[in-house]
Chains A and B, each alone.
Chain A
Amino acid sequence: MIDIIASIIDGLLVGGVYGLAAMGLTLIWGVMNVINLTHGAMIVLGMFALYFLVTALGLPPYGTVPVTIAVGFVFGVLVYWIAVHRVIGRAHLMSLLSTFAMNMVLVGLGTALFSTSPFNVPVALPGVTWEGYTFTGTHIMAAILALVIAGLLYLLLHKTRIGKAIRAVADNREAAELNGIPTTQVLSFAFGLGAALACVSGTLIATLFPFTVLSGGSYELKSFVVTVLGGLGNPTGALLGGIALGLIEGGTTPFIPVSWIPVIEFLLFIAALLLFPRGIFAFAKA
Chain B
Amino acid sequence: MGEANALRLAEPDRSGFGHPENLIDIKCDARKARTIKSSRLLATSDTPDPGSWEDAMIVKKLVLIAAAALLTASPALPADDTLTIGFTVSRTGKLNNDSIAQMRGFELWRDELNDKGGISVGGKQYKINFMSYDDESVNARVQQLYTRLINQDKAQFLFSPYSSGLVASAAIVSEQYGRIMLTTGAAEEKTYKLGNKNLFQVYSSADRYLVGAIETVKELNPNARVALVYKDDPFSKAVLQSARKQAGEAGLRTVLDEAYSPETTDFGPVINKIISAKADVLLGGGHYPDGATLARQIYDHKAGLKWLTLLVAPDSPNFATMGDAAIGVTVPSQWEPQVSFKPDFGPAAADFTQRFHAKYGIEPGYHAAGGYTAGLILQRAIEQAGSPEQAKVAAVLNGMDATTMFGRTKFSTDPKEHGLQTGHEMVIAQWQKKSGALFKEVIWPKAARTSDIVY
Contact = CB atoms under 8 A, between A and B. Distances in A.
Given A117-B10, A117-B97, A118-B292, A125 B2 contact: yes
A115 interface: yes
Contact of B4 (A60, A208, A209, A257): A60
Given A209-B266, A253-B272, A254-B273, A120 B296 contact: yes
Interface in A124-143: 124-125, 127, 129, 132-134, 136, 138-139
A136 B2 CA distance: 13
A258 B260 contact: yes
Given A134-B301, A210-B296, A117 B11 contact: yes
Interface in B1-16: 1-13
B92 interface: yes
Interface stretch (A51-59, A67-75, A86-94, A191-199): A51-59
Contact of B97 (A59, A111, A118, A262): A118
Interface string A210-235: 11101100100000000000000000
B6 A116 contact: no
A262 B300 CA distance: 24
Nearest to B260: A258
A24 interface: no
A119 B272 contact: no
A14 B289 CA distance: 20
A6 interface: yes
A116 B269 contact: no
A92 B288 CA distance: 39
B268 to A, nearest CB: 4
Given A210-B296, A253-B272, A258-B269, A118 B6 contact: no
A10 B93 CA distance: 29
B408 interface: no
A209 B265 contact: yes
A118 B276 contact: no
B259 interface: yes
A221 B103 CA distance: 33
A257 B302 contact: no
A193 to B, nearest CB: 26
A259 B260 contact: yes
Counting contact residues on chain A (CB < 8 A from B), the size range is: 35 or more
A60 B1 contact: yes
Contacts of A261: 261, 269
Contacts of B4: 54, 58-60
Contacts of A11: 269
A211 B270 CA distance: 19
Contacts of B93: 116, 214
Given A10-B268, A116-B94, A118-B10, A62 B323 contact: no
B272 A6 contact: yes
Given A54-B4, A117-B9, A127-B300, A259 B289 contact: no
A267 B411 CA distance: 48
Contacts of B321: 120
B273 A253 contact: yes
Given A134-B301, A210-B9, A258-B261, A116 B96 contact: yes
A129 B301 CA distance: 9
Given A61-B2, A262-B261, A209 B300 contact: no
A135 B301 CA distance: 7
A283 interface: no
Interface in A5-50: 6-7, 10-11, 14, 50
Contact of A212 (B261, B268, B289): B289
B378 to A, nearest CB: 28
Contacts of A116: 92-94, 96, 137
Contact of B12 (A58, A114, A262): A114
Contacts of A66: none
B304 interface: yes
A96 to B, nearest CB: 23
Nearest to A58: B4
B80 interface: no
B357 to A, nearest CB: 20
A257 B232 CA distance: 11
Contacts of B97: 117-118
A139 B266 CA distance: 11
Contacts of A139: 268
A45 to B, nearest CB: 16
A284 interface: no
Given A115-B96, A132-B275, A257-B259, A210 B265 contact: yes
A51 B6 contact: yes
B242 interface: no
Interface string B34-49: 0000000000000000
B55 interface: no
A3 interface: yes
B260 A118 contact: no
Nearest to A127: B300
Nearest to A114: B12
Given A132-B275, A132-B304, A258-B260, A208 B266 contact: yes
A136 B300 CA distance: 7
A175 interface: no
Contacts of A257: 258-259
Contacts of A259: 232, 258-261
Given A55-B5, A121-B6, A209-B265, A254 B272 contact: yes
A259 B259 CA distance: 7
Contacts of A254: 272-273, 276
A120 B300 contact: no
Contact of B293 (A121, A210, A253): A210
Interface centre among A58, A115, A129, A133 (most CB of B within 10 A): A115
A3 B1 contact: no
A3 B275 contact: yes
Interface in B214-242: 232
30 contacts: A51-B6, A51-B8, A55-B5, A55-B6, A60-B4, A115-B10, A118-B289, A119-B6, A120-B322, A121-B7, A122-B2, A122-B3, A123-B2, A125-B1, A125-B2, A134-B301, A134-B302, A136-B301, A208-B266, A209-B297, A211-B265, A253-B272, A253-B273, A254-B273, A258-B258, A258-B259, A258-B264, A258-B273, A259-B261, A261-B269
Given A3-B275, A139-B268, A212-B94, 9 more contacts: A6-B272, A51-B8, A54-B5, A118-B10, A120-B7, A209-B266, A210-B265, A258-B261, A261-B269
Interface of B: 1-13, 91-94, 96-97, 137, 232, 258-261, 263-266, 268-270, 272-273, 275-276, 288-289, 292-293, 296-297, 300-302, 304, 321-323
